Amino acid sequence: MDLKILTEKIVELDDEMVTRIVERALDLGASPMEIVYAVNAGLDEVGMLYERGEYSISDLMMAGVIFEDILGMAGMRFVADEEAVFADTILLGTIEGDIHDIGKTIFHSLAVSVGFKVIDLGVDVPAERFLEEAKRHKPSIIGISAVLTSTVEAIQRAIDMLKRDEETKDIITIIGGAMVNIDVASISGADAFAKTAKDGVSECIRLKKSFEQGRRGKG
């Protein structure tokens, strides 16, 4: 089944049609991951329409609700890829000053689908809480999400606190979101960055493999 129609209906925010298409796609053998990729393409377009002023914040929120409804549908349980399973935890949150969570939610689902355990702190998370929860859960990776360019300073502060603390200084940090680029990553001190949820998960897998190879090399 061609899932381009699903992407189109996400952009149109047609929740009833989206539900019917997803149900049909699952019946025809489409995998949850294929469906999420199609939905993700639609959400990217919704985000661009919002940035251009063609969609409102309520439209953006509606798209997020549709996505969450899809994840809750029968048949949308993710089965981890056996070759990509990691016994690792990602601590995740949207930085203080930003309440966007669509991209973070997608990243969360994709990360779980390949075997990561994800602890989601939600949105508007201050630097102090990232540090506190990192000490508590001892994750392998900390993911900081942001959409607003005004949050760069807050991201920098969070990563600086994490890198300065003896308990958390070696934890891998990755930042993600529409406003993120190599310059933002460099300024913030993050170990990696990704603009999309899919790229973020791929980067986490790469970082973990690189870290493990480096550790074996030292041994």
Secondary structure of the chain as H, E, C letters: CCCHHHHHHHHCCCHHHHHHHHHHHHHCCCCHHHHHHHHHHHHHHHHHHHHCCCCCHHHHHHHHHHHHHHHCCCCCCCCCCHHHCCCCEEEEEEECCCCCCHHHHHHHHHHHHCCCEEEECCCCECHHHHHHHHHHHCCCEEEEECCCHHHHHHHHHHHHHHHHCCCCCCCEEEEECCCCCHHHHHHHCCCEEECCHHHHHHHHHHHHHHHHHHHHHHC
* Residue pLDDT, tens place only, 195-212: 888 889 889 988 887 766
Q: What is the pLDDT of residue 211?
A: 67
- pLDDT higher than threshold 50 for residue 98: yes
Confidence of residue 189 (pLDDT cuts 50, 70, 90): very high
Provide the sign of the torsion angle of the four alpha carbons 195, 179, 169, 124, taken in this order: negative
Task: State the average pLDDT over residues 158-166.
Answer: 97
- pLDDT higher than threshold 70 for residue 213: no
The overall average pLDDT reported for the chain is 87
* Residue pLDDT, tens place only, 52-79: 899 988 898 888 889 888 988 888 876 5
Q: Is the pTM higher than 0.85?
A: no
Confidence of residue 83 (pLDDT cuts 50, 70, 90): very low
Confidence of residue 162 (pLDDT cuts 50, 70, 90): very high
More confident residue, 7 or 74: 7
